[in-house]
Amino acid sequence: MDVQRRTTRQRQLILDTVKSLGNHPTADAVVNAVRSHDAHVGRGTVYRNLKLLSEEGLIRVIKAPGGNRFDARCDEHAHAICTSCGAVADIELPYREDLDRAAGAQCAYRIDSHYTLFEGVCPACRAKEGACPVPRTQPDEAPR
C-alpha cells in the first residue's frame, strides 16, 4: 500500500543542497540555495520534499523555535541554537533511551522519542553584544 516514490531532479537537488549547505539551514534557506541552481523550483516542492526526505531518514528535522532546521547528519546528536540569530551548532550527546522509558512510566503516553535543545548565544552574536557582563536588551543592530 506504499506510495511509489520517484526520483525527481528536484528531490535530488534538495537533498544535495541540505548536504552541501551543512549548517542546519531553515526551509527558507534551502529554498534560496536550491533556487540558485534552478530558479523555478517551487516553495511547496521544497517543503514537501524536506518532509519526505526526513520521513525516509535521509535528513533530520530540528524542531526549533522560529522555524524547523534540517540536518544532513543523521546520527544521534543534539543541537544548540543561538537565541539571538538562530544559528545552530551540533552537540555530541548520546541518546538516552532510558529517559523514554522513565517518561513513559510516568505519564500514560506512549513515548516514542525525545530531543534536547540547548539555548545560548553564538560567538558572532556574543561579539556583537559587546563585553558587558549582563546581556544588553538590544545591541546597536537588531538581530531578528
Catalog residues that contact a copy of itself under the rule CB under 8 A: 63, 65, 68, 78, 80, 82-83, 89-93, 99-100, 102-104, 106-123, 126
The Cβ of residue 55 has, within 10 Å, a number of other Cβ atoms equal to 10
Q: Quote the crossing angle between the two packed helices 9-21 and 27-37, to the nearest 10°.
A: 120
According to the binding rule CB under 7 A, does residue 48 interact with DNA? Answer: yes
Q: Of these partners, a copy of itself, DNA, none, which one is at the site of residue 82 (CB under 5 to 8 Å by kind)?
A: a copy of itself
Q: Which of 42, 57, 51, 56 is nearest to 9 (CA)?
A: 42
Q: Which of 60, 63, 86 is nearest to 73 (CA)?
A: 60
Find the binder of DNA among 22, 23, 37, 43 (CB under 7 A).
Answer: 43
Strand partners, 60: 71
Residues 2-41 as x/- pattern, contact with DNA by CB under 7 A: -xxxxxxxxx--------------xxx---------x-xx
The interface region with DNA, picked from 16-24, 61-69, 76-84, 129-137 by CB under 7 A, is: 61-69
